Amino acid sequence: MDPIALQVLVGGLRAACDEMGATLIRSAYSANVKERHDCSTALFDPAGELVMQAEHIPVHLGSMPDAVAAVLGEDHEPGRSWILNDPYRGGTHLPDVTLVSPIFAAGELLGFAASRAHHADVGGPTPGSMPAFSRTLEEEGVVIPPTVAGKETLEKLASRMRMPRQRLADLRAQEAANRVGVLRLRELCTSLGTAELREGMAEILAYTERRTRAALAELPDGSYRAEDVLEADWDGAERDLRLRLEATIAGEELRLDFSGTGEQVEGNLNCPLSVTKSAAFFAVRVLTDPDGPPSAGAHRPIEVLAPSGSLLNARFPAAVAAGNVETSSRVADLVLAALSQARPGPAQGQGTMNNLTLANDEFTYYETLGGGQGACPEADGPSAIHVAMSNTLNTPAEALETEFPLRVRELALRRRSGGAGTHRGGDGIVREIEALAPMRFSLITERRRHLPRGAGGGEDGAAGVNLLNGSPLPAKAEGNLAPGDRLRLETPGGGGWT
Amino acid sequence: MLLGVDVGGTFTDAVLLDGGEVHTAKVPTTPRQESVGVMRAVERVLRRAGAAASGVDVFAHGMTVGTNALLEERGATTALVATGGFADLLEIGRQNRPHLYRLCAPKPTPLVTPERRFEASERVGPDGVVEPLPGDEPERLAAAVEASGAEAVAVCLLFSYLDPSHERRIAEHLRRRLPGVHVSASHEVLPRFREYERCSTTVIDAYLSPLLGRYLGALGEAATDAGLPQPLVMSSSGGVAPAGEAARAGAWSVLSGPAGGAVGAGLLAGLSGDGNALGFDMGGTSCDVCVVEDGEVRRTDEREIGGRPIQLPMVDVHTVGAGGGSIGWADSGGALQVGPRSAGADPGPACYGRGGAEPTVTDANLMLGRLGGGSELAGGVALDVEAAEHAVGQLADSLGLDPRETAAGILRVADQEMVRALRVVTVERGVDPRGFALLPFGGAGPMHAAAIAEELEIGTILCPRAGGVLSALGLCASERRRDTVRTVMMSEGEMTAERIAATVGSMIEETGAGLDEARPRLTYKLRYAGQAFELPVPGPPDPDPAELREAFEGLHGERYGHVDREGEVVLVDIELAMAVPGPAPRPAAAPGGAVERGHRRVLFDGEWIETPVLRGEPAAGSEAEGPLVFELPEATFVVPPGWSTSVDEHGTIVSRWTR
């Protein structure tokens, strides 16, 4: 396919994915989707390779292909979609529910449309389904293996979750998004012809691969190591889990070997391999080809190895709620740190999503907070943003207080929390929320004891702080709030760069 | 006579309408003092028409003063008064980063520096006042604002869209106490929920108003000196307001320029078509697209300018970086890209011969015969074919293609970008483009129209006679208008006919003051309880709630493919436009006889075809078949094989796809 037709097809597919995303966000009910855009939409070729994605959330980019792979071998027919959230069969963590729809034209499989959304609740003992201290997958909610998404199945699944009407409505929003994807790919097929569309999708993958290979070839060959920790502060104890990486650049290929990383644990910081890969691909893209089209071609020159049964390639029945949100951030930090030895990269950012869930029998509310970005070789790190695997919006106080028994007491920049340097690290956020009714809270945070590191001679960023009525809480915490209680999060600053 | 003057990035255009007779003029824009260029354009168009200033009944003006000041951050020194604990809201925004993979891509600089952000000790919640505003608080804030040296101040308190009492007291005190300081209060600018977006809009309003006041004051004096009536100023809503009113509403100024083009497209869509058209304005660096339905320009209230949200109901003009000056280049994966970098007006495309060495869209058009070599563009620029061939040739070598293929490719990729822009405003908003005509304007629009129409399966192109100055023409036709939105958040139980009618009544009273002949136009924005986005339902001032629900569900089903019959519906916002219809000009076709015939080789679909070229303005009633090129005074219209054309009484070249 010539370079011109290629650009034209890229534009058409990108518009289709964007339209899928807009449909999902606009008709959704979960605050996670509608206010925070914690969702992704994508199109795949018949072999299950990701050809194009609407770019909302980086952590979904590298992990969606496993969801399609999980249903690839099934018998497909037009109009029969598949649903799943099992982290060991194509999912990431249970709240992320994925719907996959095959796309046919004239009886032939053209590819798949997929949408993933973080649902407000997927059942289990903890409202909001983001428990701080789960020990097995079953304690985190309803596990959905790849299943045909018939009307009755969806109703049955929703009935095992809190607020089933909202769950069903969100699933219908995902169906609507997939319908748009199916329609648009069929239209492209009609205007180009099946053969040309297939060739075009293959060429997009090859093209993205070429771009990534060209960027990798510019990095000096060699092996680069990095090490970091997670804060596994449960049962009242402080302990560190060690993560290791050896990154080897050879010509235009890259191997990321996480051997030496700790075993999976009886907490929920474990990751299925798809989350590890996703975080690794994200970091490579930051350093190689930030503007390329989001297709799986970029992943072809990269090999990701993590020992089976380790934190980064966990096996059933390990709990994974925090793996997707927190461990993934650390994996990105490791890859950035290792490759920064080959070419100067950014200092560490806040390295956490600061997950906060508030809930009682009448509502569940989940949010993640931004913080400081580490400074880059050419610029200051921005303040008060999501730094790595997330890019979700905050929920406006006026939306939050209208829907839930909560009052936001403060939303401010945490000044001077970013590390000094030639370029400064970004500042974190201060957010204080008051409970107006009895409720449970759950906090999953990182970088409360270990500071985001500066790069070169740049200073470290400030560690994050969690406070309940002024008293410190550990990085992971759960408990009850009475009316008038105030939870205050001060998120980490980014490291400086010198 | 109606006079419209539109300031663009490169040229300032004037249109004088004397009955159906259209006179035009184009002069270079004078960037730092736009009013100088405006008055030059006025002078020139009056001279051309042999008319006197005293004969001008309406003088309407579209400007870029506000837009440029915002993009270049040259507005007033501005302070912010916010609810205690929320002074940094403007800087935090929605906490998302501008680029997913460029980690240090900067967020927009806050328009208020940290030392000019002040917190009021008060709190309002969803059910009313939580912590009262102490009696001496407004004075403490006024003293602090004064000491900060601010020329303008924005007041944005939480939940002021529901209960503005605190915000109003502070704003009133600031106005009394600091008469030289412009005060924008969020409940007046935009009484809608979502505090960051409201705050951003209010701050932009404060930031731009002093500057607009000075500019419009100077223009008003110049108009008086020249014997012209006081200017009416185009607002982002697509209607005009007296200069004094516009000078106090900075946030409404940012789309003043593109709004004129959109209204012009609306006018021509009604006169030459059935009222439904996609407006497509392609200039040197960018392309603006908009949707016209039943002669009305479609609006949106979610928009960002330079990364800063402005949530006012504005014309839905979507801009992409594809223009005549957009540069073609080969990326690291060997694909051909066009833009967003542009050669601009200086040095301009390679064929301008002013030192531009990179191949642009204009160079590609010239190489393929779509533009005539040696001919002059509107700005008086002679085109150099060899320079274009040289620039395109170098790119062709790096792509491994032949130069002709490369030139055709540059056009295809640029066309694709514009098709994508048109898809954003149509299919992504639930509109099927196939029911519309394509209405190209701007210097480069008509050259690209046919390819874009074919891609979108649009069968009719309306190429207006005054396409090069359509924005100025639109100004002449604009209605006198004032818009407002109010968040009412009525649950289904609260949504009674009486309550809605009472709210609408008070909105009409507040907004319609002084607009005696204005007719209200209302849009009700509804959603299911639990959703975050609304769908707009037009209705009368006293709608039946059951009918609103029915219309909402119809739209929801159409847009998202499902309806929740048992779901509760919420009325979130009411949007009101008070509009006095503008003059209804009917531009006429040129008298005819002045068309020069020639021919040249033009590449269509990979084949060189000897193509007739008509230079000048064709007379009403003339008909022709493609392939054909019209060289109009300010634009070139390329008609490929398969299209037939006829010129209507307004001088519009109406082209239809015949295959």
Nearest-Cα residue of chain B relative to residue A383: B92
Which residue, among A9, A27, A356, would best test binding to B if mutated, counting the most B CBs under 10 Å from its CB?
A27
Contact between A385 and B97 using a beta-carbon 8 Å cutoff: yes
Any B CB within 8 A of A286 CB: yes
pLDDT of residue B375: 60
Same domain, B131 and B203: yes
Contact between A211 and B409 using a beta-carbon 8 Å cutoff: no
Give the separation between CA A413 and CA B91, rounded to whole angstroms. Answer: 8
pLDDT of residue B135: 97
| Chain A residues within 8 A of B159 when measuring between CB atoms | 398, 401
pLDDT digits (tens, 9 = 90+) for B544-582: 999 999 999 999 888 777 888 888 999 999 999 999 988
In this structure, what CATH number is given to the domain that contains residue B540?
3.30.1490
| Chain A residues within 8 A of B426 when measuring between CB atoms | none
Share of chain B above pLDDT 70, in %: 98
Lowest mean pLDDT among A275-284, A366-375, B373-382, B412-421: B373-382
Share of chain B above pLDDT 90, in %: 64
Same domain, B418 and B489: no
For residue B353, tell me if it sits in a domain: yes
Q: Between A7, A58, A214, which is nearest B416 by CB? A: A7
Contact between A384 and B106 using a beta-carbon 8 Å cutoff: no
Same domain, B324 and B361: yes
Sign of CA dihedral B462, B465, B468, B469: negative
Which residue, among A23, A30, A398, would best test binding to B if mutated, counting the most B CBs under 10 Å from its CB?
A398
Give the separation between CA B264 and CA B267, rounded to whole angstroms. Answer: 5
Look up residue A387 and give its two tokens. 């730094």
Residue A470 has pLDDT above 60, yes or no: yes
Out of B169, B184, B209, pick the residue that ends a domain: B209
Share of chain A above pLDDT 70, in %: 100
Which residue, among B91, B104, B392, would best test binding to A if mutated, counting the most A CBs under 10 Å from its CB?
B104
Look up residue A157 and give its two tokens. 């699944």
Which residue, among B80, B86, B101, would best test binding to A if mutated, counting the most A CBs under 10 Å from its CB?
B101
Distance of CA A437 to the CA centre of its chain: 31
Instruction: Judge whether B525 and B573 are in contact, CB under 8 Å.
Output: yes
pLDDT of residue B374: 61
Candidates B496, B482, B483; CA nearest to B571 is B496
Residues whose CB is less than 8 angstroms from the CB of residue A237 and which lie 6 or more positions away in sequence, other chains included: none
Same domain, B88 and B168: yes
Residue A7 has pLDDT above 80, yes or no: no
pLDDT digits (tens, 9 = 90+) for B392-435: 999 999 988 899 999 999 999 999 889 888 888 887 666 778 88
Instruction: Judge whether B328 and B364 are in contact, CB under 8 Å.
Output: yes
For residue B458, tell me if it sits in a domain: yes
Same domain, B558 and B652: no
Confidence of residue B9 (pLDDT cuts 50, 70, 90): confident
Nearest-Cα residue of chain B relative to residue A402: B126
Same domain, B507 and B541: yes
Confidence of residue B27 (pLDDT cuts 50, 70, 90): confident
Give the separation between CA B349 and CA B353, rounded to whole angstroms. Answer: 8
Instruction: Judge whether B63 and B256 are in contact, CB under 8 Å.
Output: yes
pLDDT of residue B379: 55
Same domain, B375 and B398: yes
Instruction: Judge whether A446 and A326 are in contact, CB under 8 Å.
Output: yes
Measured in angstroms, the CA of B159 and the nearest CA of chain A are apart by 7
Any B CB within 8 A of A360 CB: no
Q: Between A35, A175, A398, which is nearest B159 by CB? A: A398
Same domain, B570 and B617: no
pLDDT digits (tens, 9 = 90+) for B575-612: 999 999 888 888 888 876 678 899 999 999 989 999 99
Distance of CA B366 to the CA centre of its chain: 29
pLDDT of residue B511: 87
Measured in angstroms, the CA of B39 and the nearest CA of chain A are apart by 43
Distance of CA A338 to the CA centre of its chain: 21
Read out DSSP for A58-126? HHHHTTHHHHHHHHHTS---TT--EEE--TTTT-SSTTEEEEEEEEEETTEEEEEEEEEEE-S---SSS
Residue A137 has pLDDT above 80, yes or no: yes
Locate tokens 């449309």: which residue? Answer: A113
Which residue, among B91, B123, B332, B422, would best test binding to A if mutated, counting the most A CBs under 10 Å from its CB?
B332
Residue A243 has pLDDT above 70, yes or no: yes
Locate tokens 């006679």: which residue? Answer: B465
Lowest mean pLDDT among A27-41, B45-59, B517-531, B615-629: A27-41
pLDDT of residue A222: 97
Give the separation between CA A109 and CA A76, rounded to whole angstroms. Answer: 8
| Chain A residues within 8 A of B92 when measuring between CB atoms | 370, 383-384, 394, 411-413, 429
Higher pLDDT, B23 or A57: B23
Residue B377 has pLDDT above 70, yes or no: no
Q: What is the 3-state secondary structure (H, E, C) of B460-511?
A: EEEECCCHHHHHHHHHHCCCEEEEEEEEEEECCCCCCHHHHHHHHHHHHHHH
Which range of residues forms the domain containing residue B85? Answer: 78-209
| Chain B residues within 8 A of A18 when measuring between CB atoms | 428
Look up residue A15 and give its two tokens. 């518009």
Higher pLDDT, B645 or A130: B645
For residue B345, tell me if it sits in a domain: yes
Look up residue A155 and give its two tokens. 């109703």
Specify the number of domains making up chain B.
3
Contact between A397 and B195 using a beta-carbon 8 Å cutoff: yes
- Using CB atoms and an 8 Å cut-off, which of residues 155-214 of chain A contact chain B? 166, 169, 172-173, 175-176, 179, 207-208, 210-211, 214
Give the separation between CA B643 and CA B460, rounded to whole angstroms. Answer: 9
Same domain, B433 and B490: no
Residue B95 has pLDDT above 60, yes or no: yes
Same domain, B192 and B297: no
pLDDT of residue B430: 65
Same domain, B475 and B490: no
Q: Are strands B182-185 and B232-234 parallel, antiparallel or unpaired?
A: unpaired
Q: What 3-state DSSP class applies to B289?
A: strand
Nearest-Cα residue of chain B relative to residue A371: B95
Average pLDDT over residues B232-236: 94
In this structure, what CATH number is given to the domain that contains residue B166?
3.40.50
Phi, psi for residue B619 in degrees, rounded to 5? -80, 160
Instruction: Judge whether A43 and A294 are in contact, CB under 8 Å.
Output: no
Measured in angstroms, the CA of A214 and the nearest CA of chain B are apart by 7
Out of B173, B193, B209, pick the residue that ends a domain: B209
pLDDT of residue A313: 98
Instruction: Judge whether B231 and B254 are in contact, CB under 8 Å.
Output: no
Measured in angstroms, the CA of A19 and the nearest CA of chain B are apart by 6
Give the separation between CA A132 and CA B163, rounded to whole angstroms. Answer: 39
Measured in angstroms, the CA of B27 and the nearest CA of chain A are apart by 37
Confidence of residue B306 (pLDDT cuts 50, 70, 90): confident
Give A314's strand partners.
Answer: none
Q: Whole-prediction pTM value? A: 0.90
Same domain, B337 and B435: yes
Size of the A and B interface in Cβ pairs below 8 Å: 208
Candidates A417, A329, A456; CA nearest to A57 is A329
Confidence of residue B284 (pLDDT cuts 50, 70, 90): confident
For residue B37, tell me if it sits in a domain: no
Out of B209, B239, B259, pick the residue that ends a domain: B209
pLDDT of residue A76: 96
